[in-house]
């Protein structure tokens, strides 16, 4: 497969995952912030600040939680639609679609149609729609469904060949990083809140699981009782949870193993292999230090090195 095509497919996987993640985080944070607002305005504001940091959009214009509307319209606009925000859903979908246009021969008609349509629909949204809180939230939900439709088309129609492998590799990189970034930004706040306000405390842990599409999965394993340590272990080490760090690293490793012979992926495999072993066998040591946050930061940097190794060995032949 052409290196350029492989790279584009990798980025389609990443951009789609990013668009899905940002949309889901936006939905969950909106609900949580509405719930908290009035009880603890500073906490509500911090939910938004953490979200911006977790998606890498904290370099944007200063935003304030809007108390007049009781809803987070400025954030919805900034994260869903703003073209000057490099991680807005609109930008991610546009990038995925632009990459799709350059490698359309590697996609099925279904994938391209869904990609193109969702991009066009989001592009057609205007500030008027987003000025109305109910319609705005409707649009966020609709956008999330549209993205899941694209992912469904990929799942249902794409051949499980090298191109698919690259797309999934990109998805796994992005997803694993997202979990690490979300944990890295949310954990300090959760820890400082402590047991100060128990209903809010558990509400935020529940929201953390929901923002990783993991609440039901967690309950199926541990029951309805939310124990912060179990939640953290679940999101870091649970092998069956699709958004846990361990699952993500293991998937990255599998996709690297499946690359064609002759592909230069030794560096990336070595980095990911070490990380995989550590996540399998060192869980207690990692948590015993009491510093999950620095583990998240370090691991995220290691994964970025693995990405660089992939780009060096496979995309820039």
Partner 1 sequence: MEWLREEKGYDEIHAAGGEPREHYTRLLELLGEIDEADLNRRERLQQLSLLNQGITFSVYGDREGTERVFPFDFVPRVIPAHEWRRIESGLVQRVTALNLFLKDIYTERACLKEGILPWDLLLSRKEYKRELLGILPPRDVFTHIVGTDLIRDESGEYRVLEDNCRCPSGVSYMIENRNLLQRSFPELFSAYPVQPVENYPSELLDVLRFVARRSDASHPVLLTPGVYNSAYFEHSFLAREMGIPLVEGSDLVVDGSHVFMRTTSGLQRVDCIYRRIDDDFLDPLVFNRESTLGVPGLINAYRAGNVSLCNAPGAGVADDKAIYAYFPDLIRFYLGEDPLLAQVPTYVGARPDDFAYMLEHLDSLVVKTTGDAGGYGMLMGPFSTREEISEYREGMQRNPGGFVAQSLVELSFHGTWIDRKFAPRRIDLRPFALCGDGVEVLPGGLTRVALKEGSYVVNSSQGGGSKDTWVLAGGGD
> Which residues here bind partner 1, judged by CB under 8 A?
1-6, 98, 101-105, 109, 112-113, 116-117, 120, 162, 166, 259-263, 314, 317
CB 257 → partner 1: shortest distance, Å?
14
CB 255 → partner 1: shortest distance, Å?
12
CB closer to partner 1, 6 vs 209: 6
Q: Classify burial at 249, counting beta carbons within 10 Å of its beta carbon; exposed 0-12, middle 13-18, buried 19 or more.
A: buried
CB closer to partner 1, 9 vs 26: 9
CB 263 → partner 1: shortest distance, Å?
5
CB 74 → partner 1: shortest distance, Å?
27
How many CA atoms lie within 13 Å of 130's alpha carbon, on the beta-carbon side?
Answer: 18
HEC states along 132-148?
A: CHHHHHHHHHHHHHHHH
CB closer to partner 1, 142 vs 222: 142
CB 303 → partner 1: shortest distance, Å?
20
H-helix or E-strand spanning residue 165: helix 162-193
CB closer to partner 1, 105 vs 128: 105
Contact 56, 122 (CB under 8 A): no
Task: For residue 156, give both structure tokens.
Answer: 């249902």
* Distance between CA atoms of residues 137 and 133, nearest Å: 6
CB closer to partner 1, 96 vs 279: 96
């Amino acid at each position: 497969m052409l290196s350029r095509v492989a790279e584009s497919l990798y980025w389609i996987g990443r951009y789609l995952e990013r668009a899905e993640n940002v949309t889901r985080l936006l939905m969950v944070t909106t609900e949580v912030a509405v719930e908290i607002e009035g009880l603890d305005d500073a906490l509500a504001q911090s939910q938004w600040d953490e979200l911006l940091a977790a998606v890498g959009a904290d370099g944007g214009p200063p935003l304030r939680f809007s108390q007049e509307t009781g809803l987070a319209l400025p954030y919805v606009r900034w994260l869903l639609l703003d073209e000057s925000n490099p991680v807005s859903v609109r930008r991610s979908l546009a990038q995925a679609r632009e990459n799709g246009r350059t490698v359309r021969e590697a996609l099925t008609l279904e994938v391209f149609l869904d990609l193109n349509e969702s991009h066009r629909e989001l592009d057609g949204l205007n500030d008027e729609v987003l000025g109305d809180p109910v319609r705005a939230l409707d649009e966020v939900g609709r956008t999330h469904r549209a993205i899941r439709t694209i992912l469904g088309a990929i799942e249902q129609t794409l051949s499980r060949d090298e191109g698919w492998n690259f797309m999934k590799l990109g998805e796994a990189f992005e997803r694993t990083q997202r979990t690490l970034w979300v944990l890295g930004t949310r954990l300090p706040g959760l820890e400082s809140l402590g047991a100060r306000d128990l209903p809010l405390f558990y509400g935020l842990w529940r929201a953390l699981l929901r923002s990783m599409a993991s609440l039901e999965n967690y309950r199926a394993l541990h029951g309805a009782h939310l124990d912060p340590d179990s939640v953290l272990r679940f999101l870091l080490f649970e092998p069956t949870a699709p958004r846990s760090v361990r699952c993500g690293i293991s998937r990255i490793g599998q996709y690297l193993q499946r690359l064609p012979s002759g592909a230069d992926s030794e560096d990336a495999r070595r980095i990911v292999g070490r990380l995989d072993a550590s996540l399998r066998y060192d869980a207690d040591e990692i948590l015993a230090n009491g510093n999950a946050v620095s583990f998240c930061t370090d691991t995220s940097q290691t994964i970025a090195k693995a990405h660089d190794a992939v780009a060096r060995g496979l995309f820039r032949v």
